[in-house]
């Protein structure tokens, strides 16, 4: 019975991790589609209203940076603050908490 429950827990855990990953990827593509659609609209608006000054580049660059960072995070290409960094910090904080708890128990 214990093995069956353990396998079910592992399958549930894998399912929720996979579901979370799919939701992250889906969120990124939604952001990317919005980025393209809105910036195309801003380009048209800019060219129709004031073609002498191309202001649409500013939101294009700002939001583009956000989309780039979002994509790097979703597709695990974060040379800084990536998944390995997160896991290392979680482990570090858990160890510190365990040490603090042990110190409190000895007092």
Contact 46, 56 (CB under 8 A): yes
**pTM score above 0.75:** no
Only one residue has tokens 């980025």, namely: 35
For residue 53, the 8-state DSSP code is S
Q: Tens digit of pLDDT for each residue in 25-76?
A: 999 999 999 999 999 999 999 999 999 999 999 999 999 999 999 999 898 8
- d(CA 33, CA 45) in angstroms, rounded, equals 18
Contact 56, 39 (CB under 8 A): yes
- d(CA 72, CA 44) in angstroms, rounded, equals 29
């Amino acid at each position: 019975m214990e093995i069956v429950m353990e396998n079910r827990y592992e399958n549930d855990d894998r399912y929720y991790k996979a579901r979370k990953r799919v939701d992250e990827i889906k969120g990124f593509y939604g952001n990317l589609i919005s980025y393209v659609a809105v910036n195309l609209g801003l380009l048209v608006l800019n060219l129709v209203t004031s073609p002498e000054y191309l202001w649409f580049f500013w939101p294009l660059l700002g939001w583009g940076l956000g989309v780039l960072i979002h994509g790097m995070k979703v597709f695990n290409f974060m040379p800084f603050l990536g998944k390995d960094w997160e896991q290392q910090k979680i482990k570090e904080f858990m160890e510190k908490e365990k040490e603090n708890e042990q110190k409190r128990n000895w007092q």
